[in-house]
Chains A and B, each alone.
Chain A
């Protein structure tokens, strides 16, 4: 009952924000980049809200439950990504871009083919990520609120279309800020209750170690049973992927200047680091201490109710009863809404600003482009709902890997070379980008996760689940080799973004 009340309160609040944002968003710059009037601190909170998905909040809790200490890579690698973002990308991105990654890509190499590639790549990455989030959302919401999967996915899809079509980036930003604040409060309450109930850190870890057979092994390495190659590829995929995810990168266009862009990353790092610290050091062992073996959370078959991803929600129930369960459920729901809103805005702006404007081949008015943006947001919601319902019973974890792998192998090398390598040519950029896109998709399909577990073959064609260690360096090599072999475009001098 409390969970349903929190759910309704969240929907009403976010719709009110959307109506408020809709009144303040009139021009293209408002819808795409909130008029570049968001402060660095607000944007930092929004980046944190945009990055920490349901996978972070719920999925990693479940992973810690079975793999223990080895999940550290999932908490540490994104921080390295944020550091690189601060050092290499944040300020130049703000300086060269205006609305989309395509603006940045074509700032030096003024070739519209590059803008089209950037638009397609942005839509592909965002759609992979969107479907993965929506399938997760459907499962989670149907478990939490007793709705059917289809109803849950339709609710999420309709809400995200309304947020973006009516309120644009301003609405998405505030939904993400609210989510980040709720997440910090929710995780903070969980952490305090875990420590209070267990009598401090020592009591918590003793209780966790004593909760079941072989649990102390979870505090030793080897839980993920991965090789160095696989682990390194996963880590690099997360680091480089973060710097190629369009929905995170376009957030830098919402601040007024480069100093605020840098401040954004610092604030995001502090928020993400704090939430990760509580999740890894306290909530993870808390799940073992209070949920593992607790008959209240076991089904008739002896397995956990709702599956491993529900550990964090069960922990909330164990510590704070129905009230805390409702709060954590609302946090999880807001998490989903914030991430899908960010993804939708990235894909819709790429469709209207990069693809429609370029492929139409004649000047379009700002009003016309905004209508394409709104229609794209609605179409994306429709496509997302359709694919999610179609794939609801499939293992879609690979879609998340696919989004990160494509972002790391296609977007990241291009972005770095556009910003830092003066000899990059259009041919080199296109060759490297297309190579990164195709090779990362091909190796994901050939990986054990898809080739063996989803397609049912005996052995995988490629030994690891994550291709970034191979594909990202090769994409750099292809970009640079082709650039050196081709003549530099005469129009490749730096120009301000349009």
Chain B
């Protein structure tokens, strides 16, 4: 009997850190994989329903157990079968050091730093290049994109430049893949960007919705072209609705910045990164084919950004190990609460971030509203109209969402008429009308100067239409 009594002890010693199993009934689903796994038939199907789960856990008889451990390897449940050094509740007795969640340090955010750039001459580069340079100066070293005219040269420049800065350029298999690579990089807390054009932007919308839902930052530069469908590759503005109202499924919003010049392509791309990380939300730089392809004077800023590491990032280190990036909120109340937090963020953005550029609006009786390249034509038209005695002004939203209604409201009260100039079927006008309506302002008399299909409204068109609106009698419109 002495020998028998000693046997298990000898076995325990021989099997080093192995031990015999115990079943934790609440955590055993009774699948029986361990029954087949045990070569000594120590485990059998259970008979008693576990009150906590309604399932029938297995039963173990350890008389013949050799502590081979095969049952552990067969159990699909992490805590269903436990080595005997766990107590009956399944709690681990101190044995081997573990990286417990409780012991994980709370990450401290590493803030962004600003570094001075050498002073220099202006660059003479095209708009998409300026946007790429802006991204680099904002600390973006990760580009994921798919070639599409008229945005491609931006990707080409990133492909040329990023290797010199130990950055990463990936030509993705599609725009769908590109936006999801951005999601991955953004989740890791790095500044990533992509350049695309209208059809490609459509493909990115699912990913953008996930970014909004999971609060992942990233900058998408969409160079709008003529649509719908393939349309053409000439400049357009008909993604305003998509960017401002239809950013994928769900109640999504993202700041939408509308550059008019190559200089603004740089400035607003840099701003986009800051806003994107400030609010943990994607930001859209909504350009048109003209401003993207146009070469012009681009003065570099005095400083560039050295990005830090946000506390929320899944950065692949101990400090950030507890972080999770997800847009899943299974319970309705949780998702509703979470969406309310999103909406509160949108409200903060709506308060703090609207931007507009006003040209000769102070005494304007006739207000032209335009963005992107058409705003340049409109500005020229304002000059011409002023020379002809028409008190015209240009209101140019730099943020299409949030629409800068606070800046528009005071000038709107003076202006008798508004002329919206755009290369779409009233998408900018709709944003403005919605903003006016939401602000409970009286809707002014609105005239549209629209061109489509890759055609931008010209200076002369704007002038003649405005003259027609401002001085209908002068044109003999008396009938």
Whether A associates with B in a native complex is no
Give A residues with C-beta under 8 Å from B: none
Give B residues with C-beta under 8 Å from A: none
